[in-house]
Amino acid sequence: MKKSKIGVGWAAVLLTLALLVGATLAIQAQPGSPSHWRAHRPLIVRGMLIGPPRRGAPFVKFKINSSKPSKGKGGGGSSTVVYYGPQSIWSAYYYPFTPTAPPNSEDDGSGQTIAIVDAYSDPSITKDLSAFDSQFGLPAPPSFTIEQPEGEPSNNSGWALEQSLDVEWAHAMAPGANIVLVEAVSPSLSYLLNAVQYAATYPGAEVVSMSWGGSEFPDESSYDSSFSSSSVTFVAASGDSHSVYWPAASPDVIGVGGTTLEMKRTTISETAWSDSGGGISAYESEPGYQLNFVSSGDGTRLGETGNMRGVPDVSYDANPNTGLLVFYNRTWYVVGGTSCGAPQWSAIVALVNQANQKISPLGGGAGSDLYSAATSNYNAYFRDITNSGFGYDFYTGLGSPDVNELISDL
């Protein structure tokens, strides 16, 4: 077990032109053989900055040139990319704090613990978090702990960048929460689920973030018990190939899809990201909270899934062309993918828990809180990304959050 302390600073401008695609189409699992299943990181690197980002800017646009087209991922030719820092995202999703009214102990997740499960090890994570916090004026988390329940994993740069994203952005959205990073030895099913169970029983942890997933497999539902809890909420990225990923498909997990977030001086808009993971599960039955979901607009029920689980449940910014800033190994990256949403929705759960003592886990008895809120007053709690008036689709689920309203209701 290690604890980290957070430290010093960085400064201003300049950008650049690298395209590193860490893309993530899942390898097909062997039918009926979860021993062949491997998790993939739905994380896409869009570019790097030369030097630190522009301090205080709500968002920054810059050009990236690439000779490698990457369909749906924003690659090929010259394109304009936008990157966001934490304060921009606070504004976009109506967090209870703003750049002019920063987080305080009443609304920042204080007293909560966010557990993050990833594979392999990131030796620079403590320093990376320190630099990220210093750049954006964030306090250190009260506690940052790294747990390696199966022994010390090997290093892996791709998963290390994922860890930096998950830790930095979970912390940025709930700065007062404790963070525990649980590192699995490998991205195989058994090791990751062991790490999930360790995270779920970690003292004080009431939400577990999983920015990974893979193709569905026939007996996946027999592993859903790993996420069944009356006291812990599980959150997973839905993938980046518009297909159904597990564990986001588990009825006991909040699956987070992706959007394209555009912020202008006075307006915020979102559209569905075409590569957001989602669809109808081939193996998971439709849970009661989806079967009974009624759109507050016209009374229509979800009921388009043939009694099978619909994915995702909710959404968040994921398009790498409207990406997030992540600091990893002395470099600033602009990243996208549904990996971005899972740790931030986990932070939202922590904020709700702080304010209201508990958000019901999705599969835990009254685990329909999100769907109940959408039924009771959809427009108060969610942004309908597809403008369908129905309130659910297979790219963005119920939509993106109005965090302040969800905290007050849930």
Q: What is the pLDDT of residues 93-114, one digit of tens each?
A: 999 998 888 899 999 999 999 9
Q: Which pLDDT score is estimated for 61?
A: 56
Q: Which pLDDT score is estimated for 304?
A: 63
- Give bridge partners of residue 263 from the DSSP assignment: 268
Q: What is the pLDDT of residues 194-249, one digit of tens each?
A: 999 999 999 999 999 999 999 999 999 999 999 988 889 999 999 998 899 999 99
Query: What CATH architecture applies to the domain 2-10+32-43+99-316+336-409?
Result: 3-Layer(aba) Sandwich (3.40)
Poorest-pLDDT segment among 81-90, 120-129, 383-392 = 383-392
Poorest-pLDDT segment among 17-21, 44-48, 59-63, 355-359 = 17-21
Q: Angle at Cα 107 formed by Cα 105 and Cα 109, nearest 5°?
A: 80
Query: Within 13 Å, how many C-alpha atoms sit on residue 210's CB side?
Result: 35
Q: Which pLDDT score is estimated for 14?
A: 27
Poorest-pLDDT segment among 15-19, 27-31, 308-312, 367-371 = 15-19
The answer, yes or no, to whether residue 126 has pLDDT greater than 60, is yes
Q: Which pLDDT score is estimated for 63?
A: 47
The answer, yes or no, to whether residue 64 has pLDDT greater than 80, is no
- Across all residues in the chain, what is the average pLDDT? 82
* Residue 213 φ/ψ, nearest 5 degrees: 175, 180
- The most confident of 116-130, 252-266, 396-410, by mean pLDDT: 116-130
Assigned token pair, 322: 């409207």
Q: What is the pLDDT of residues 263-317, one digit of tens each?
A: 887 778 999 999 999 999 999 998 888 887 865 444 455 556 778 999 999 999 9
Residue 205 contacts residue 349 (beta carbons within 8 Å):
no
The answer, yes or no, to whether residue 58 has pLDDT greater than 80, is no
d(CA 230, CA 361): 6
Residue 256 contacts residue 312 (beta carbons within 8 Å):
yes
| % of the chain residues with pLDDT over 70 | 78
Rounded alpha-carbon distances, angstroms, from residue 391 to 243, 327, 380: 20, 35, 12
Residue 359 confidence class, pLDDT cut points 50, 70, 90: low
Q: What is the pLDDT of residues 239-264, one digit of tens each?
A: 998 899 999 999 999 999 999 999 88
Instruction: List alpha helices for 247-340, DSSP H.
Output: 288-291
Residue 309 contacts residue 287 (beta carbons within 8 Å):
yes
d(CA 214, CA 39): 5
Residue 363 confidence class, pLDDT cut points 50, 70, 90: low
Residue 132 confidence class, pLDDT cut points 50, 70, 90: very high
Counting Cβ atoms within 10 Å, is residue 334 exposed (0-12), middle (13-18) or buried (19+)?
Answer: buried
Helix (H, G, I), strand (E, B) or coil at 296: coil
DSSP state of 260: E
Element (H, E) at 142: none
Helix (H, G, I), strand (E, B) or coil at 298: coil
The answer, yes or no, to whether residue 9 has pLDDT greater than 50, is no
Closest by alpha carbon to 322, among 49, 4, 72, 80? 80
Detail the DSSP E strand segments found in 312-404.
314-317, 322-328, 331-336, 382-383, 400-401
